[in-house]
Structure 1
Amino acid sequence: MLACQVDVHCGVCSWSSVPGTCFETFETECCLLCVKMTKLGFLRLSYEKQDTLLKLLILSMAAVLSFSTRLFSVLRFESVIHEFDPYFNYRTTRFLAEEGFYQFHNWFDDRAWYPLGRIIGGTIYPGLMITSAALYHVLHFFHITIDIRNVCVFLAPLFSSFTAIVTYHFTKELKDAGAGLLAAAMIAVVPGYISRSVAGSYDNEGIAIFCMLLTYYMWIKAVKTGSIYWSSMCALAYFYMVSSWGGYVFLINLIPLHVLVLMLTGRFSHRIYVAYCTVYCLGTILSMQISFVGFQPVQSSEHMAAFGVFGLCQIHAFVDYLRSKLNTQQFEVLFKSVISLVGIILLFLYWHMLGKISPWTGRFYSLLDPSYAKNNIPIIASVSEHQPTTWSSYYFDLQLLVFMFPVGLYYCFNNLSDATIFIIMYGVTSMYFSAVMVRLMLVLAPVMCILSGIGVSQVLTTYMKNLDVSRPDKKSKKQQDSTYPIKNEVASGMILVMAFFLITYTFHSTWVTSEAYSSPSIVLSARGGDGSRIIFDDFREAYYWLRHNTPEDAKVMSWWDYGYQITAMANRTILVDNNTWNNTHISRVGQAMASTEEKAYEIMRELDVSYVLVIFGGLTGYSSDDINKFLWMVRIGGSTDTGRHIKEHDYYTPTGEFRVDRILNAKLIFVRSKCFLLCETNIFSTKLSLHACKTHFCALKICSFARRIVAEM
């Protein structure tokens, strides 16, 4: 037989032989394989088309997986809206779909924040509602009958599929298609993103992550090409992002920071100048069309970094122009540039002193100083999403990505470019902010998937080169590399290890999605003694009790967590809700809850309260009831002038503990507070005697044996 010392290629499948193998053996095996594949029709396509088809197939599978893995809650419970904020979004979307955009934009809601009310159109980011309403009308145009509630329930899983596709294209711009496919598959199942995009989680983040990654992708394309077209597309994507989520502030600070770093590293060019100036000017004008944003892009401190970098771009371009014309006067040009920069800084400080530029918001301060909210704005610190992230949360929400993230960073540092510098900055900044605020784990998850996809792709590419998949020749032994005798075994081992970790990541993500992130807070579940699932539907039962057993003009006082749900499901007027825009009003409700019965009655008469709703979970160990939130009621209630008499230390035991067990002393203020009395009294009785006051109190308790415990006083 003739041994081939050069590569021999098949004319049908482009398969290449290994030098030193038998030509006849290669020809026979290849032809048999090609005949079988040709019968299937696959090899009738060219190699490039096969490659494209395979990529499209893998990406489609990732998109389908991204959608389907978020449907656990629908299969387990029903098509239901989750959490608290999504109920407000659903209510406003339904109003928009039924009444139209004009009525929606000018809607004054008199059932919220009694007696103040709320202007809906000017106090929300309308992107989520407009997207759902548009999709609803498009489906009905094609005679696809669907309820607006189901559109809201399945919108986040749908956009998660779009996110997987955008992640592929974004990562492809950073490395190659292989890394893009890995990143798309990872983001399809990453728990950190699934937590805010499961079916029924109808919140702004459901579409905002797609908008954010789309903006980043367009930005990288604009930076690489210097094209006004891609820059304009980036500005439009940014506009969609601004209309969808307040987290756009992170984006409008990251892009200027990227441009500034490119300046400092000597990478600033005409491409960057065209891209940033177009994005900033067009994006700022478009963002100001959102009523809730208004003039903030040119007035608030959060946006001044973008404005400052825009000014630096003009100075840098002007200096470059002068250098090309006046080489002998560089010192003079530099001097003038410095003077101009100092002048801009002084002008900024002057505007700030005059109040032309508003200071940073409390949430923005909290990102820079984690202790700021707790010490100055308790209402921000009381939100569980604003708490610092624990170390265990990183592994729980990211798993394998925690270990592959540094590998991707290392690759990007070794292959610095305008694009990789951007992803490095995105990864580092989001890592810091996610540590400060657990909610921003959502911002970290995409870049973790992108950098991990790059890292895994690089590892597999490195070891696949060392993997020998040719069949051993029985008559002649191949000459092994003496410097690396076991490279085939090492390569095989590393590939198997990576495959094992990827499979483990998939199983972990599926388990977390099923058990932790697919249970709506409004419908609780637990395991019985025999392992069967027990469903607690007390929340909806209580809200419907209010809807059918109270007057339509009744005013319900509860802690702000339940405001949106009461308005949407009970259709009753509430004093405070999850918007938390008026700290004084919330403080007044906290004072009523934390005060004694006599003082609480005075406050509730002042607020014209008809019913009070409290949540008690002591009988089943439900840890998110009002007793566990009581200290936040105390802190927020005592944060204003009218609540100065409320001191947190007065609600502790003599040993400095906050307890709700038998050690409680009847003399403690906590025991005599209205919140505790409503919860404690109804443990033993569901029918109470009427008090002298005309205010009605209803108490909701999460318990396993009594499902309807709404008691009227």
Structure 2
Amino acid sequence: MVTAGLIHYVLNLLHLTVHIRDVCVFLAPVFSGLTSISTFLLTRELWNQGAGLLAACFIAIVPGYISRSVAGSFDNEGIAIFALQFTYYLWVSAWGGYVFIINLIPLHVFVLLLMQRYSRRVYIAYSTFYIVGLVLSMQIPFVGFQPIRTSEHMAAAGVFALLQAYAFLQYLKNRLTKQEFQTLFFLGVALAAGVVFLTVIYLTYTGYIAPWSGRFYSLWDTGYAKIHIPIIASVSEHQPTTWVSFFFDLHILVCTFPAGLWFCIKNVNDERVFVALYAISAVYFAGVMVRLMLTLTPVVCMLSAIAFSSVFEHYLGDDMKRENPPVEDSSDEDDKRNSGNLYDKAGKVRKHVSEQEKAEEGLGPNIKSIVTMLMLMLLMMFAVHCTWVTSNAYSSPSVVLASYNHDGTRNILDDFREAYYWLRQNTDEHARVMSWWDYGYQIAGMANRTTLVDNNTWNNSHIALVGKAMSSNESAAYEIMRSLDVDYVLIIFGGVIGYSGDDINKFLWMVRIAEGEHPKDIRESDYFTPQGEFRVDKAGSPVLLSCLMYKMSYYRFGEMQLDFRTPPGFDRTRNAEIGNKDIKFKHLEEAFTSEHWLVRIYKVKKLDNREPLDHKLRSIVPRPKYTSKKTAKRKRGHIRNKLVLKKGKKPNNKK
């Protein structure tokens, strides 16, 4: 947001009138172009200019980065990958995922020290990076003192202290004898490491340094989030990455980047040690979490470019050498003088010039042509795949769905916008909508209505309360909705069109999050069959078949027959006939169902008789001001009698 605002301010300062919306829409594509340039610069430093050019071409079209850099993708990641690549080129600070960077660069320095590759260049570069980065990052109000008070930053501080100690010992090395230096070295290193370790433990124990976050633990222990922080594990981007995702986002680069890593390790130097560490760590983290494919994509493009560049140099370089033949050495001159001899210096039969030319014209040129054509075919397939993925997966807004018929024609499913427009036009402007947190921002932005929970997932207890309402039966859910002043409930149901991202498929995460806060009321095992299956048909759990989410999703669905091959109430997403077709509501009523049944909205019925008055009186006369429930109830009774007298009725003192 700061970057977009700054660009908008500068453009208007230069009298280039641009709407802030246009700046936000085109921010990611502009920075993706800068990412290609920074990738070229970084790969050129690691290998050569040809590899840099290929790497820039790869990252310009690779689906793993296109997914976050298309027009309209206004998110941190649009700028983040440029910051990450430019960080690795200049060693400065970057985005919200900068914890990866702030630990990878110290790891690089630490490994260089272990490999005895210490130099003044490493000392100056890292000391400047750490001091300047620390001071600049602390100027941002949101960051503040986090760089010196969180565990994620302690590795960078520890390596900085270690580097200073190492540099000091190198200074003393020239002024002490070998025996004195060895004694001082081991004593100094052990003492410094012990002091730093004990200091970090003490500061963490006293609370000055915050412990490792749950997101960090979930990277090392894949089952941690599911047990302790289910709201993190429930996000689709935080699921483990499948092989299909690797191939979909990287295509042929999955196979070629290990070759580039091998070339770097074979011809290792200080810079290539860094890219090897980057590749190994990024591969591990991308396998743990789908979202971190974004950090793997740049290094895959760089190493694949190195692999392709090396192959082209090897198989096309001989043609370049023929055009510029090397200077002949003395042994060749001796061979020319003794051309009449049948044997060379090694005692082997000498080949005539015509035989050498025939050997080169035989298998050699054919192999070069075949390898070159194969490489070009791979690049062509990669370009075709990237174009197809970009046009089909990443060029449509997520709020509008598209499906294809057998004849290739396309159907546009506009149910989301249809439902949000209905909410905006047909509900009170102060109405409160309860839905799962995935749709909170959309409802607030497109329907302009208040939501209980949204995509800002910091309030875990509030989200768990909504999950409890969805997981409970109608009566228990109604009490929760009354306490939250809910007017409408919105759900997503994909059983008609086969949409797999609906709320029934997300339902177990609602149960798990609710169980974390309310273990006495909600238990995940209650929603499974005795065989441990999650089923929506007649064999499903009775608790599941009577819960609010199930009833709202399948209300009136049992009467619908989608086609002649399936019975009424057949769920296309779960491929099953639902088990509860006779669904009736006591406290809710259907208010709206979109054309393809994708979005369903229910209205919460108001209380009968005097209960609405009591409900309002609770907000007028809150209980904490009085000593007991009895006193608060008596006070509300006095106010109720006054309101009744104003209407000209006699008060009911008994009640």
Q: 2-side partners of 1:551 and 1:618: how far apart? A: 30
Residues 139-178 of structure 1 mapped to structure 2, 5 A cutoff? 139-178=11-50
Structure 1 equivalent of residue 513 of structure 2: 636
Structure 2 equivalent of residue 458 of structure 1: 310
SS in 1 for 2:274: helix
Deviations 1:66-113 (A, max 9, x none): xxxxxxxxxxxxxxxxxxxxxxxxxxxxxxxxxxxxxxxxxxxxxxxx
Q: Normalised by the size of structure 2, how large is the TM-score?
A: 0.80
Aligned counterpart for 1:496 among listed residues 356, 373, 376: 373
Amino acid at match of 2:181: Q
Is residue 290 of structure 2 the alignment partner of residue 438 of structure 1?
A: yes
Identity of aligned residues (%): 52
Shift of 1:191: 0.9
Shift of 1:662: 4.8
Structure 1 equivalent of residue 527 of structure 2: 651
Structure 2 equivalent of residue 372 of structure 1: 224
Rg larger in structure: 2
Aligned counterpart for 1:271 among listed residues 121, 139, 145: 121
Q: 1-side partners of 2:141 and 2:419: how far apart? A: 36
Residues 219-298 of structure 1 mapped to structure 2, 5 A cutoff? 219=91, 234=92, 238=93, 241=94, 245-298=95-148
* Range that drifts further, 529-538 or 492-501: 529-538
Shift of 1:500: 0.8
Q: 1-side partners of 2:23 and 2:556: how far apart? A: 39
Structure 2 equivalent of residue 536 of structure 1: 413
Residues 468-487 of structure 1 mapped to structure 2, 5 A cutoff? 479-480=356-357, 482=359, 485-487=362-364
Cα 1:698–1:212 shift into 2, 3 Å = farther
Residues 223-622 of structure 1 mapped to structure 2, 5 A cutoff? 234=92, 238=93, 241=94, 245-328=95-178, 329-334=180-185, 335-467=187-319, 479-480=356-357, 482=359, 485-622=362-499
Q: Is the 8 A contact 1:466 1:491 kept in 2?
A: no
Shift of 1:144: 4.3
Q: 2-side partners of 1:290 and 1:608: how far apart? A: 38
Deviations 1:432-473 (A, max 9, x none): 1000111101100000000110110011001112348989xx
* Range that drifts further, 147-156 or 308-317: 147-156
Aligned counterpart for 1:678 among listed residues 539, 552, 556: 552
SS in 2 for 1:466: helix
Q: Normalised by the size of structure 1, how large is the TM-score?
A: 0.74
Structure 1 equivalent of residue 67 of structure 2: 195
Cα 1:700–1:304 shift into 2, 3 Å = farther
Shift of 1:321: 1.0
Deviations 1:354-397 (A, max 9, x none): 22221111111011111111121111110111111112221121
Cα 1:700–1:305 shift into 2, 3 Å = farther
Shift of 1:496: 1.1
Deviations 1:397-453 (A, max 9, x none): 111111211111111112211111111111111001000111101100000000110
Amino acid at match of 1:523: V
Cα 1:467–1:248 shift into 2, 3 Å = same
Shift of 1:675: 1.3
Deviations 1:480-505 (A, max 9, x none): 17589522221121111111111111
Q: 1-side partners of 2:445 and 2:397: how far apart? A: 16
Q: Is the 8 A contact 1:365 1:372 kept in 2?
A: yes
Shift of 1:521: 1.9
Amino acid at match of 1:332: T
Shift of 1:581: 0.5
Amino acid at match of 1:381: A
Q: 2-side partners of 1:298 and 1:318: how far apart? A: 24
Q: 2-side partners of 1:697 and 1:131: how far apart? A: 44
Across the aligned residues of Structure 1 and Structure 2, the Cα RMSD in angstroms comes to: 2.5
Q: 2-side partners of 1:541 and 1:483: how far apart? A: 70
Cα 1:469–1:135 shift into 2, 3 Å = same
Q: Is the 8 A contact 1:197 1:206 kept in 2?
A: yes
Deviations 1:560-601 (A, max 9, x none): 101111121122222111121011111111001000111101
Deviations 1:191-245 (A, max 9, x none): 11112222222211111000000010113xxxxxxxxxxxxxx3xxx1xx2xxx3
Cα 1:648–1:282 shift into 2, 3 Å = same
Unaligned 5+ segments in structure 2 are 324-352, 561-581, 605-655
Q: Is the 8 A contact 2:489 2:603 kept in 1?
A: no
* Range that drifts further, 268-277 or 285-294: 285-294
Q: 2-side partners of 1:671 and 1:361: how far apart? A: 37
Q: Is the 8 A contact 2:555 2:583 kept in 1?
A: no
Shift of 1:137: 3.1
Cα 1:462–1:337 shift into 2, 3 Å = same
Q: 1-side partners of 2:600 and 2:225: how far apart? A: 36
Q: 2-side partners of 1:671 and 1:528: how far apart? A: 33
Amino acid at match of 2:79: I
Shift of 1:654: 3.4
Q: 2-side partners of 1:708 and 1:423: how far apart? A: 47
SS in 1 for 2:174: helix
Amino acid at match of 2:529: T
Q: Is the 8 A contact 2:399 2:417 kept in 1?
A: yes
Q: 2-side partners of 1:247 and 1:309: how far apart? A: 20
Amino acid at match of 2:136: L
Unaligned 5+ segments in structure 1 are 1-128, 220-233
SS in 2 for 1:315: helix
Amino acid at match of 2:150: S
Q: Is the 8 A contact 1:613 1:698 kept in 2?
A: no
Cα 1:605–1:173 shift into 2, 3 Å = same
Q: Is the 8 A contact 2:491 2:503 kept in 1?
A: yes
Q: 1-side partners of 2:30 and 2:589: how far apart? A: 44
